[in-house]
Amino acid sequence: MPELSAHSDHDDIGAISDATLRLFAGYYMKRAFNVVQADLSQTLRPFGLRMLTYSALTVIADNPGLRQAQLAGALAMERPNMVAIIDELHRRGLIRRDRDPADRRAYALMPSLEGRQLCERANRAVKRHEARMFGFLDENERAALLRALHRVETGSRGEHE
């Protein structure tokens, strides 16, 4: 059982009181994200995955046949930064890259059996990670948080539902 030290708090000796410390909202996003990211990295390490390789693998497993550009769009990252991720997953035999016969520039990304199995196992660990990070929020609070984050990301467009 790996030692997962969630929420590594910095030493409070001589710290500035929260009343005196006033930062802009984005900094609180950064601080929270750093904590989540650190815990997620520890969570994925036993599987040989990082946040981005895990994210890419799950999207490929859920959407077999998609292109790299679509994957980059889904993960909100630039296409050049996708290449190393795909290379790594492919080198480890977790995905296949089939040439799209209709458009020979593009690849159709497919999960391998090993990729699907690793993804399943990692998913269970990530579920526990999410329980650690967000478990104290009830369903309404958690939904409100995700909705607020989505509105920040999209500039509040897209709530037409």
Partner DNA sequence: TATTGTTATACTCTATAACTATA
Partner DNA sequence: TATAGTTATAGAGTATAACAATA
SS3 of residue 127 by DSSP:
helix
SS3 of residue 95 by DSSP:
strand
Q: How far apart are CA 137 and CA 92, in angstroms?
A: 37
Q: How far apart are CA 63 and CA 158, in angstroms?
A: 22
50 binds, among DNA, its own copies, none (CB under 5 to 8 A by kind): DNA
- Which string of x and - marks every residue 11-40 that binds DNA (by CB under 7 A)? ---x---------------x---x---x--
Among 26, 104, 139, 160, indicate the residue that binds its own copies (CB under 8 A).
26
SS3 of residue 106 by DSSP:
coil
106 binds, among its own copies, DNA, none (CB under 5 to 8 A by kind): DNA
CB of 50 to its own copies, least distance (A): 12
Give the other-Cβ count within 10 Å of 46's Cβ.
11
Among 59, 67, 74, 130, indicate the residue that binds DNA (CB under 7 A).
67
Got the DSSP string for 53-72? HHHHHHHHHHSTTB-HHHHH
Residue 83 touching DNA (CB under 7 A)? yes
| Residues contributing to the site for DNA (CB under 7 A) | 14, 30, 34, 38, 41, 50-52, 67-70, 77-83, 86-87, 103-107
